[in-house]
Structure 1
Amino acid sequence: MAMWIQAQQLQGEALHQMQALYGQHFPIEVRHYLAQWIESQLWDSLELDNPAEEAKAKRLLESLVSELQKKAQLQGGEDGFLLKIKLGHYATQLKSTYDRCPLELVRCIKHILQSEQRLVQEATNASDGGQAMDSLSQRHQQINQAFEELRVSTQDTESELRKLQHSQEYFIIQYQENLRIQAQLSSLSSLPPAERSQRETSLQSKRATVEAWLTREATTLQKHRLDLSEQHQKTLSVLRKQQTLILDEELIQWKRRQQLAGNGGPHEGGLDVLQSWCEKLADLIWQNRQQIRRCEHLTQQLPLPGPMEELLSKLNADITDIISALVTSTFIIEKQPPQVLKTQIKFAATVRLLVGGKLNVHMNPPQVKAVIVSEQQAKALLKNESTHSESSGEILNNNCVMEYHQATGTLSAHFRNMSLKRIKRSDRRGAESVTEEKFTVLFESQFSVGGNELVFHVKTLSLPVVVIVHGSQDNNATATVLWDNAFAEPGRVPFVVPDKVLWPQLCDALDMKYKAEMHSGRGLSEDNLVFLAQKAFSSGSNNPEDYRSMTISWAQFNRESLPGRNFTFWQWFDGVVELMKKHLKPHWNDGAILGFVNKQQAQDLLLSKPNGTFLLRFSDSEIGGITIAWVFPLAERLVWNLLPYTTKDFSIRSLADRISDLNHLLFLYPDRPKDEVFAKYYTPPLSKAVDGYVKPQIKQVNPEPSGAASTFMDQTSSPSFSHPSSCVYPSMTDTMLDPDGDFDLEDTMDVARHVEELLRRPMANQWSSQQS
């Protein structure tokens, strides 16, 4: 209800804009009396383009109607009688309006709440007075001030145009009077000489007076026309400047935010604000265009010597160029198609015309078509080298009619069930792989403005998409998309990106991606980034300053394998992200996982801590693996490392339960008791039998190491999951360890499978007898 309380404090134009949000589609009384209920609902959780959400929207509609009816019943007394009837009527009206399209109710209320929030925020910024406004507020104030100037100048030219029209009409009347006098003079020849002389003198005097007035007035009219033309030129100059600011700066920035959102950046907002600006532009441009057209009509009605025809012709051409640029630039993709696009899989997208409602395009709803084109075809389209849209594949359900939503004033086309049936690839260059080839979805339409007076053919390209045919390609395709989203520049030739970037730039992109996947403000620390730099550059430096000026190439990022590994830097990092996202997100957000620590660093950290202290770090040798390192006293204090756990392991037993099972793990580095950190994630024990059976439980066991011979002897007691999982850190003589102290995966996994096979049967028998 807090938002509604603030909205009621709005004044002036802001209050007028707030009131304009309401009407028959959603009465303001409903907002007022159900303010608390409305603001407590999770409207943003519903996806408007997903038909599966209709059931949720239906329940919200029913709840809203029910709340209204309850509120109506509570009204009593003489003063409440009319309100009771009115609220009951609104309940019936809303039920009737949205019963068949409940998602439209959600769209309407979301639009209202977002608009109220924007108006309240703008009013708050304006009331700060002496406080310095941020750059965003300053730009918005500049734009709003320019709109006010344009509104005033357009009103002035409208007033001057009416004066000109009135003066011209009076001029024509006087001109007709002059013609009538001339006709009378011509008819005097039939009169007697005496009478003719007397009347001729009077008529000639009157004609001289009228002609003198006509001469003066013709000069005045011509000057009036030229002055009006000059005023229109000034208005068009401000209009063009305002449009450049909105389309070439604000809209481009919105598109950039939308692109970064593909890497996990903040969700792009402000589209409704942009639409309101574009609609104001459209309204002012159209008013000025109509004024110029009326000036042309007046000039044709009364031709006068001078340059007016040329001036008006130029003004008309200029205003047509301005409106053409506005319409074609505001045909945008509101919801992008997925940038990693798998064939035969359904996907969605939404396009929107920001000025569609203002220019009444919806009166004859246009159809939008989607086709997929290659990078080369996109270049040709932008250079106007191709007059027709060639396709590089076949998209099913690729035609959609634009719909006008009265509640929000938006004109959009929602492609809900597109599917890429096939793709035609081009010849690849050099080392480029399939997952480095970029395509784009082209949306195009045609519509008319002003009763077919102007016809526009509009096109817009989606962000680059990488087409895959198998899930195994997703990792590398995501790398291409991340690099493109992070480093693309506005106005680039499709789809050029730098081959090398500064390391801090890549750090920003990786941090953005990581934060988004963790749904947390805890991203990558400076120490984490130093660890990643060491991995990317095969460097041993711990000084972050050493990496600030270094550049990393696309090949280093995801084309060349890391030294001694069969995977790239990105493949390793993405494996970590996937593991964390699927299984370990809460532990990362709790600060329980150090993660980005190598074996030597783990040893240095742990040897100064009490026995039983452990930490969690990501595996250097395996994609998507995490290991536990802990201090254990043998003949001397040593740091042990469990064989890495992967997604497969955590789908069987969670990390918290595995840590709970291992009794020799006592303190999470640096000194937190493990139960204090992990107890809330432990699986509770079964309290009773189900259908007469006791359900068996998997438990991890780690025999206490007694010497180097026990290096690989830690395994679980599950008959279906035997996991050799520990190694003593200093033992460097084992042939399964590489020179850096990491496992050779192929040999290790062979031994693991062999040990598992040897131990499976006796363990299984023991496990079965225990459960029975």
Structure 2
Amino acid sequence: MAMWIQAQQLQGEALHQMQALYGQHFPIEVRHYLAQWIESQLWDSVELDNPAEETKAKRLLDNLVSELQKKAQLQGGEDGFLLKIKLGHYASQLKSTYDRCPLELVRCIKHILHSEQRLVQEATNVSAMDSLSQRHQQINQAFEELRLATQDTENELRKLQHSQEYFIIQYQENLRIQAQLSSLSSLPPAERTQRETTLQSKRATVEAWLTREASTLQKYRLDLSEQHQKTLALLRKQQTLILDEELIQWKRRQQLAGNGGPHEGGLDVLQSWCEKLADLIWQNRQQIRRCEHLTQQLPLPGPMEELLSKLNADITDIISALVTSTFIIEKQPPQVLKTQTKFAATVRLLVGGKLNVHMNPPQVKAVIVSEQQAKALLKNESTHSESSGEILNNNCVMEYHQATGTLSAHFRNMSLKRIKRSDRRGAESVTEEKFTVLFESQFSVGGNELVFHVKTLSLPVVVIVHGSQDNNATATVLWDNAFAEPGRVPFIVPDKVLWPQLCEALDMKYKAEMHSSRGLSDDNLVFLAQKGFTSSSNNPEDYRNMTISWAQFNRESLPGRNFTFWQWFDGVVELMKKHLKPHWNDGAILGFVNKQQAQDMLLSKPNGTFLLRFSDSEIGGITIAWRLVWNLLPYTTKDFSIRSLADRISDLNHLLFLYPDRPKDEVFAKYYTPPQYVSLTAKAVDGYVKPQIKQVVPEEPASELNGPDLNQELTPNILDQAIVLDEQTWYIANRTQDIGGGLCVYISNAWCSNAVKVDGQCSPVLEVNC
């Protein structure tokens, strides 16, 4: 119907061309009133040049006429009277026109639909089908085939029922004739002979008919059973595609979202597919049960009882698999779970609304289980839910939301009160131990006809008791999310992975934390490879086939350091996320550069050129390297909570150009804190003058340099106060030293007795108390 809505919006010549497609051969009124039905049929599946397809075309014609007749019957009132007559006339007209050549009807409608689609595409330059992937189109086409197959078996079942009812009537007639024959003994011989001959002849005719019809009925039953078997095979195929591929892919996207991947969408589409499956499965199940009833009502010799029993078992298996697989976790609990901390989760039954489960809302319970307990549950070795801890507020009733048609349970205030840990293996730490939250429920469908006990496990969670464990717990979660395989035994992950695989996971995490499309470049990844493998190669190809182990990632410390590869990387991510995100997105931070690389890059640049790189020696540190290649002691989160990076760069007059040649104010000025100018004589309301903080770096006399010390790190001083007076800045330092008995203040590069340094000059303190 979507195409017809668009076709009606055509204008000018396109509208005239669309109208010209219709006429006596196919009235435009038929297209209008049956738009949805027409667009839902598989016209393209009919091969026009194949005479064997005539049966399929005839079915489409009959269904079209039937739909027109139904539409006509629905018209009422004075306004609908003429339309009722017109639609009825069109039904008869199409039947008489195409009954002997149904393939021509298909040819006509295919031409109309393709022409409409072309006109709409030309008008909007957008294909109505482009919004659906080819895979989704295949799924929708398969649903249409299933709908038609289910409708066919429904029609055949009704025919069988009518035939069987007529058979029973004739059977009763045969019994009545037999009763009449038995009652002839009381008649005179002449009359009895005449009546007996007539009744016996009639009985012979009826019995012969009953014999033939019994054989026909049995054939109908067998044919219908075969049709049901084919439909169930199609249902299994479609359900496998949706549950074992589409739903598994959705769960995989959900897992990668835990590492910062794209948010998992498409759940509403999955629900619509699962609901269609549930509807079709239930219709077929009801048909099979009606077949059983007919067979019981009129037992006939043959294998029908066994065939129907198998069909019933198969359809029950199919619907059981659908219900148990569509009990899913829509919103996962946090994968790093801290005790005594509130957390939330949401579970959803994708077929709940269709099966009317909400009529008696089921209750869902959540418990936390260990890795071993999860294995036992999946192997069905454990029938009851053992727990490895205590979760508060762990029961919730599923609610049906009419607007969205979803049945879900929202756990809003859960809290893990305590955890019971298992014996750890080898070098495994508490932050490598994995648990999972088990959600389970029980409900019935079809008036307690079927009872389901459903369970689903959350993604692995690592339980911590202190924030200091968060870093290592996150490493466990990241590795598991990135490298877990579908259908694994809980919660096995490979101990080694290819370096490019880890690069992909790190890049995903980095971009997500930075909320930026600027991720890790090839040069950044080479830097990380050098750090992870203790290598000096700058060629990315050298690392393509190398593997990195979990121990290298977050168990063994980097050479000469007391922290692991992941701890260093995570420290960088935290620093950037909290303080430096805008500068990274501006391209101002190179970051992944070592000291030697920084030296090589700066040596060819003018003095005052600087760059920003991450510290190799400190977690979550960033340093400034500049020509003449000094390296400042790394800044950390604590430093940036006092004064921002942009303001620190502004403070240092040594820094002129951000590598390679961008004036620093051009890059950082928009982030500078506006200066506050106050007079020494101006007092605040409370009698105090507010001090300002500023950074300085000590300068060494040129005679002591003897060339730059490329590895020396200078410590910047943060001044206690900086006061502006008469357009000059008076600095009061935080370091003092006694020289010759006088109180001195260390400012910039000089020691001034009883003075402060102003613009390179030693000036008297005046009334400022140092």
Normalised to the residue count of structure 2, the TM-score between the two structures is 0.76
Aligned mates of 1:724, 1:93 — CA distance in 2:
105
Structure 1 residue 750 displacement after superposition: 26
Higher mean C-alpha deviation, range 261-270 or range 90-99? 90-99
Please give the secondary structure, in 2, of the residue aligned with 1:355: coil
CA distance in 1, matches of 2:98, 2:468: 44
Q: Which is further off, 55-64 or 258-267?
A: 55-64
Shift of 1:729: 3.1
Cα gap change, 1:109 to 1:238, in 2 (>3 Å): closer
1:685-722 deviation per Cα after TM superposition (whole angstroms, max 9, x unaligned): 2x996777543221111233xxxxxxxxxxxxx99999
Distance 2:448 2:345 in 1: 28
Which moved further from structure 2: 89-98 or 381-390?
89-98
Task: State the superposition RMSD in angstroms.
Answer: 14.9
User: In the alignment, is the contact (CA less than 8 A) between 1:366 and 1:446 conserved in 2?
Assistant: yes
Q: CA contact under 8 A between 1:641 and 1:726: conserved in structure 2?
A: no
Q: 1:75 to 1:356 in 2, by over 3 A?
A: closer
Range with greater deviation from structure 2 (747-756 or 415-424): 747-756
- The one-character-per-residue Cα deviations of 1:500-555 (angstroms, maximum 9, x if unpaired) are 00000000000000000010100000000000000001111111111111100000
C-alpha distance in 1 between matches for 2:701 and 2:502: 45
**Residues 53-72 of structure 1: CA deviation (Å, up to 9, x unaligned):** 99999999999999999999
Alpha-carbon distance between aligned partners in 1 of 2:415 and 2:89, rounded to the nearest angstrom? 44
Q: CA deviation at 1:13?
A: 26
> Given the superposition, is the C-alpha separation of residues 526 and 652 from structure 1 closer, same or farther in structure 2, using an over 3 Å criterion?
same
User: In the alignment, which residue of structure 2 is the partner of 1:134?
Assistant: 130
Report the secondary structure of 2:247's partner residue: helix
Structure 1 27/180 Cα, relative in aligned 2: closer, same or farther at 3 Å?
Answer: closer
Conserved 8 A contact 1:621-1:743: no
Q: CA deviation at 1:665?
A: 0.7
- Match in the other structure for 2:70: 70
Distance (Å, rounded) in 1 between the aligned partners of 2:476 and 2:391: 22
**1:169 to 1:366, Cα distance in 2 relative to 1, 3 A:** same
Q: TM-score, normalised by structure 1?
A: 0.76
Match of 2:253 among 257, 275, 280: 257
C-alpha change, 1:291 and 1:656, in structure 2 (3 Å) is: same
Structure 1 position 363, deviation (Å): 0.3
CA offset at residue 107 of structure 1?
A: 45
Change (3 A) 1:590 1:371: same
Change (3 A) 1:357 1:694: same
Are 2:332 and 2:459, in contact at CA under 8 Å, matched by a contact in 1? yes
1:738, distance to aligned residue in structure 2 (A):
31
1:724–1:752 CA contact under 8 A, matched in 2: no
Query: What is the Cα deviation at residue 607 of structure 1?
Result: 1.0
Kindly indicate whether the alpha-carbon contact (under 8 Å) linking 1:518 and 1:581 is maintained by their aligned counterparts in 2: yes
Q: Is the 8 A contact 2:694 2:718 kept in 1?
A: no
Shift of residue 88 of structure 1?
A: 40
Deviation at 1:139, TM superposition (A): 1.1
Alpha carbons of structure 1 residues 425 and 684: separation in structure 2 relative to 1, 3 Å: same
**Judging changes above 3 Å, is the alpha-carbon distance between structure 1 residues 387 and 509 closer, same or farther for their aligned structure 2 residues?**
same
SS of residue paired to 2:559: coil
Say which is worse superposed, 364-373 or 692-701, in terms of deviation: 692-701
162-171 vs 24-33, which moves further: 24-33
Gaps of 5+ in 1: 631-636, 705-717
Partners of 2:563 and 2:622 in 1: CA distance: 16
Distance in 1, matches of 2:61 and 2:535, equals 60
Q: Find the counterpart in structure 1 of residue 738 from structure 2.
A: 757
Are the aligned partners of 2:692 and 2:723 in contact in 1 as well (CA < 8 Å)? no
Alignment check: 8 A CA contact 2:239 2:277 kept: yes
* 8 A Cα contact 1:641 1:727, kept in partner: no
- In structure 1, distance between residues paired with 2:531 and 2:636: 20
Answer whether contact 2:723 2:729 (CA < 8 A) is retained: no
Give the C-alpha shift of residue 423 in structure 1. 0.1
C-alpha deviation, 1:74, in angstroms: 36
**CA deviation string 1:257-282 (max 9, x = no partner):** 00000000000000000000000000
Show the counterpart of 1:15: 15
Task: Report deviation, 1:638.
Answer: 2.8
2:444 matched to 1:448?
A: yes
Measured after TM superposition, the shift of residue 137 of structure 1 is: 1.1
Q: CA deviation at 1:142?
A: 1.0
Looking at CA atoms only, which structure, 1 or 2, has the larger radius of gyration?
2
The answer to whether the 8 Å contact 1:337/1:348 transfers is yes
Say yes or no: does 1:368 pair with 2:350: no
What is the distance in 2 between the residues matched to 1:370 and 1:105? 58
* Maintained 8 Å contact 1:644/1:725: no
1:451 to 1:567, Cα distance in 2 relative to 1, 3 A: same
Structure 1 residue matching 2:113: 3-state secondary structure: helix
Q: Judging changes above 3 Å, is the alpha-carbon distance between structure 1 residues 88 and 192 closer, same or farther for their aligned structure 2 residues?
A: closer
Matching residue of 1:119: 119
SS in 1 for 2:666: helix
Structure 2 gaps, min length 5? 676-681, 740-746, 752-768
Q: 1:565 to 1:676 in 2, by over 3 A?
A: same
Q: Cα deviation per residue 1:352-377 (whole Å; 9 max; x = unaligned)?
A: 00000000000000000000000000
1:464 and 1:27 mapped to 2: Cα distance?
61
Instruction: Tell me if the contact between 1:612 and 1:664 (Cα under 8 Å) persists in the aligned partners.
Output: yes
Q: SS in structure 1 opposite 2:731?
A: helix
Q: 237, 240, 259: which is aligned to 1:241?
A: 237
Deviations 1:154-198 (A, max 9, x none): 000000000100000010001000000000000000011111111
Most deviating of 473-482 and 101-110: 101-110
**Alignment check: 8 A CA contact 1:643 1:724 kept:** no
**Pair 1:310 & 2:321 matched:** no
Give the match for residue 698 of structure 1.
693
CA distance in 1, matches of 2:477, 2:121: 34
Q: Higher relative contact order by CA 8 Å / sep ≥ 6: 1 or 2? A: 1
Q: Distance in 2 between matches of 1:342 and 1:161?
A: 59
Tell me the CA shift for residue 6 of structure 1: 8.8
Residue 281 to residue 496, structure 1, CA distance change in 2 (3 Å): same
Which shows bigger deviation, 156-165 or 90-99?
90-99
- Offset at residue 749 of structure 1 (A): 29
Distance 1:23 1:263, change over 3 A: farther
SS of equivalent to 1:472: helix
Q: What number of residue pairs does the alignment pair up?
A: 740
Deviation at 1:25, TM superposition (A): 42
Which piece of structure 1 moves more, 29-38 or 517-526? Answer: 29-38
Deviation at 1:558, TM superposition (A): 0.2
Deviation at 1:663, TM superposition (A): 1.3
Distance 1:141 1:78, change over 3 A: closer
Q: Distance in 2 between matches of 1:81 and 1:756?
A: 107
Higher helix share: 1
C-alpha separation in 1, matches of 2:165 and 2:506:
71
CA spacing shift, 1:3–1:368, aligned 2, 3 Å: farther
Answer yes or no: is the 8 Å Cα contact 1:246–1:277 preserved in 2: yes
CA contact (8 A) 1:479 1:570 kept: yes
Contact in 2 for aligned 1:719/1:764 (Cα 8 Å): no
CA displacement, residues 24-67 of structure 1 (integer Å, 9 cap, x when unaligned): 99999999999999999999999999999999999999999999
Higher mean C-alpha deviation, range 577-586 or range 76-85: 76-85
SS at match of 1:268: coil
* Contact 1:353–1:410 (8 Å) recurs in 2: yes
User: Matched residue of 1:443: which SS?
Assistant: strand
After TM superposition, the structure 1 = structure 2 runs for residues 558-573 of structure 1, keeping only pairs within 5 Å, are 558-573=554-569
